[in-house]
Structure 1
């Protein structure tokens, strides 16, 4: 993919999110020249989410001595608060078990709740439970706390 294609896809994803802002659960409209199926579109949106999440997790863990579970929870919630439409579209439409489980494993491993030596199914199970806990409270920004989290791409 060349730069022209990259920018066309980025702009198309931005357009999908703008259109979904009013009702993220509504059927998605997208450029079928760039994304053959809705699943392709959703995987691209999930990739955008994961790219932002992994970058922020790396920065957050590097910049703090706080508990890893707390840091991962806070980082996920801050990103969800900053990208509410992206998160809502994924929550409403993403059905790719592989993509969902990839995020769950990332959360479990990054928080230190699982180890790479454990079976993948166990890491996924722990990550799913942790993701449920992360989502159980509203996303909030901690006042007075300085963060070096990158702005959304």
Structure 2
């Protein structure tokens, strides 16, 4: 891919997000694919464009995870270990996720709005949820996939709830940051 192609793809993805937000499509999941110049030529289908947008989101999220020192390679403790290292890892993942979302709200909204209707995007999001669960230390890679996904989904749901309501989950010890959040995904995930 040439630099020209790279820039063109980037511009089309930017246009797709902007058009989806402008059209209010972050609620119903559709991006106005046919109205975006060059989208069909470079991406072929709406699904391929959405997968490229998810890839962009994934790169942003993993960059924030690494900046917080919360890359998957940094997890050294088994989940459930009661010490400050576990809550520090949950705090780092929480900060990274919230920062990535706050700086890329529209991209995140467009990707999330399409997850339920595009099966390939659902698989990509499941991988993201596994990454968050394992990286936070709330789940281990060898655990059943559906349980790890449930833990990751619960963590994200708690982070979203906190962002919307401004409240923290109650219970457990009150620590600075999100320490109490680390105790909740295992309690709330249906199969955990």
TM over 0.5: yes
Q: Secondary structure at the match of 2:15?
A: helix
Aligned with 2:67 (options 33, 38, 59): 59
1:53 positional shift:
0.5
| Structure with the greater alpha carbon radius of gyration | 2
Structure having greater relative contact order (Cα 8 Å, sep ≥ 6): 1
Aligned with 1:68 (options 59, 74, 89): 89
Gaps spanning 5+ residues in structure 1: where? 141-153
Farther-moved stretch of structure 1 (130-139 vs 75-84): 130-139
Give the equivalent residue in structure 2 for 1:103: 128
8 Å CA contact retained: 2:68, 2:95: no
1:91 positional shift:
1.8
Aligned with 2:108 (options 70, 82, 87): 87
* 1: CA distance, partners of 2:5 / 2:56: 16
1:97 positional shift:
2.0
* 1: CA distance, partners of 2:102 / 2:64: 14
Give the equivalent residue in structure 2 for 1:115: 140
1:28 aligns to 2:49 (yes or no): no
Q: Which has the higher helix share?
A: 2
How many residues are paired up? 138
1:120 positional shift:
2.3
* 1: CA distance, partners of 2:45 / 2:97: 28
Give the equivalent residue in structure 2 for 1:8: 8
Gaps spanning 5+ residues in structure 2: where? 71-84, 167-192
1:51 positional shift:
0.2
* 1: CA distance, partners of 2:61 / 2:148: 18
Q: TM-score, normalised by structure 2?
A: 0.65
RMSD between aligned alpha carbons?
A: 2.1
Give the equivalent residue in structure 1 for 2:46: 38
Structure 1 segments of 4+ aligned residues over 4 angstroms from their partners: none
Q: Secondary structure at the match of 2:110?
A: helix
